[in-house]
């Protein structure tokens, strides 16, 4: 069984404490005490070094049970660098996922067929290079697109769901709540309250 890329803990911790923008998107920090994961540039007071773990991708952090930070918004991190330099096949798969290659109704088998390999082999490549399954990566991307739509538009929830690639509002609500531990409506209302206070 293959594992995700190994991150240099000390280098990640230095970058996180310095809020070094050069590392933004290269890794994500999981805070053990809050179960939230952040970008290295998060403006929130940094957690103690002993209370953090590091992940190569947002999907890997979510798979480990962490939810995205509402302050630094991991869905806006530049690129998804854990797979920079990864196998060309994984890079192609990621581009297909970004274009909806695993949106509702499509399977990992369909994606693997498009890449000329078995679903099992594709899952192994993702475990090695992304630290999460293709399905987890696709779900994370859909939820991130939905969060961007919630933050940047006043579209109705059904339009957000379908625009982000979900096949139904019910699936959208369930996936969003699983990641953020709150409903899309709650997140939108919080954004509007913050805007009024500015």
Q: What are the residue ranges spanned by the domains of the chain? A: 9-76
Mean pLDDT (whole number) for 12-28: 91
pLDDT digits (tens, 9 = 90+) for 79-117: 644 344 345 778 888 889 988 888 877 899 999 888 777
Over residues 108-132, the pLDDT tens digits come to 999 988 877 788 888 988 887 788 8
CA angle 31, 36, 39 (to 5 degrees): 80
CATH of domain 9-76: 3.40.10.10
pLDDT score, position 115 = 79
**Annotated catalytic sites, by residue?**
38, 42, 69, 72
Q: Are 186 and 173 in contact (CB under 8 A)?
A: no
> What integer is the mean pLDDT of 169-181?
93
Model pTM above 0.75: no
């Amino acid at each position: 069984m293959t594992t995700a890329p190994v991150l240099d803990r000390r280098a990640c911790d230095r970058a996180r404490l310095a809020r070094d923008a050069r590392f933004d998107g290269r890794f994500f920090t999981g805070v053990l005490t809050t179960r939230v994961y952040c970008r290295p540039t998060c403006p929130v007071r940094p957690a103690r070094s002993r209370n953090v773990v590091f992940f190569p991708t947002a999907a890997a952090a979510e798979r480990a049970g962490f939810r995205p930070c509402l302050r630094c918004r991991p869905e806006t991190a530049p690129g998804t660098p854990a797979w920079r330099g990864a196998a060309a096949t994984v890079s192609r798969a990621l581009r297909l996922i970004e274009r909806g290659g695993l949106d509702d109704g499509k399977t990992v088998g369909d994606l693997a067929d498009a890449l000329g390999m078995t679903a099992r082999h594709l899952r192994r490549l993702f475990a090695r290079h992304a630290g999460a399954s293709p399905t987890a990566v696709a779900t994370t991307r859909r939820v991130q697109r939905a969060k961007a739509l919630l933050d940047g538009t006043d579209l109705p929830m059904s339009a957000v769901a379908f625009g982000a690639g979900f096949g139904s509002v019910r699936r959208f609500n369930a996936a969003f709540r699983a990641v953020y531990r709150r409903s899309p409506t709650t997140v939108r209302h919080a954004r509007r309250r913050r805007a009024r206070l500015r």
